[in-house]
């Protein structure tokens, strides 16, 4: 797993700040948080995907943000913030949980296509933030039950479709 740097975390927090500031200074309608929430959740789940497109995107996102964040933070402050911080993992997905995450990704792509340009930007930004923050030990420790939710939903779905309910 590609680690996260302090500069990468700073970029993720800046993205979230800008997304939430727009909502806070606006009408504060809960529906306006949907792109941000969906992006964060999808980004978080992509960090537990050990392979495939989701895992690859999460790794590339961290790598690009770490590099870019290091340049931006260093250029702004003159300090080096490129050292890695403690990495964490949310856990792992079962086969059934993988199906739930697949459906989440399909829903996210469909939502992206339906969103306005501004909402698309918030979704992508929150996805990036989710990929970065959920790879840190602190956030991963707080959200370590997230994969179990997907695993449980998948198991329930498998039981339902298998007639075992």
**pLDDT tens-digit map of 140-154:** 999 999 999 999 999
pLDDT at 1: 60
Domain ranges, residue 116: 4-159
Decide if 164 is inside a domain.
Answer: no
* Tens digit of each residue's pLDDT (9 = 90 or more) over 76-85: 999 988 788 9
User: H or E element: which one contains 85?
Assistant: strand 84-85
Token pair in block for residue 144: 């370590």
Question: 143 in helix, strand or coil?
Answer: coil
Residue ranges, the chain, pLDDT below 70:
1
**Cα 39 from Cα 112, distance rounded (Å):** 10
Give the number of domains in the chain: 1
Sign of the C-alpha dihedral, residues 27, 107, 150, 44? negative
Decide if 75 is inside a domain.
Answer: yes
pLDDT at 83: 86
pLDDT at 50: 86
């Amino acid at each position: 797993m590609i680690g996260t740097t302090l500069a990468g975390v700073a970029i993720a927090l800046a993205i979230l700040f800008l997304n939430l500031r727009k909502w806070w200074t606006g009408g504060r309608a809960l529906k306006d948080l949907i792109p941000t929430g969906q992006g964060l959740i999808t980004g978080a789940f992509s960090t537990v995907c050990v392979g495939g497109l989701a895992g690859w995107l999460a790794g590339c996102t961290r790598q690009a943000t770490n590099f870019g964040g290091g340049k931006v933070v260093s250029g702004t402050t003159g300090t080096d913030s490129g050292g890695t911080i403690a990495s964490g993992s949310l856990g792992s997905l079962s086969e059934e949980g993988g199906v739930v995450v697949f459906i989440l990704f399909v829903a996210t792509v469909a939502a992206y296509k339906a969103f306005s340009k501004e909402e698309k930007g918030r979704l992508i930004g929150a996805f990036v933030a989710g990929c970065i923050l959920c790879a840190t030990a602190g956030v991963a420790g707080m959200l370590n039950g997230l994969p179990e939710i997907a695993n449980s939903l998948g198991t329930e779905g498998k039981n339902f479709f298998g007639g075992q309910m």
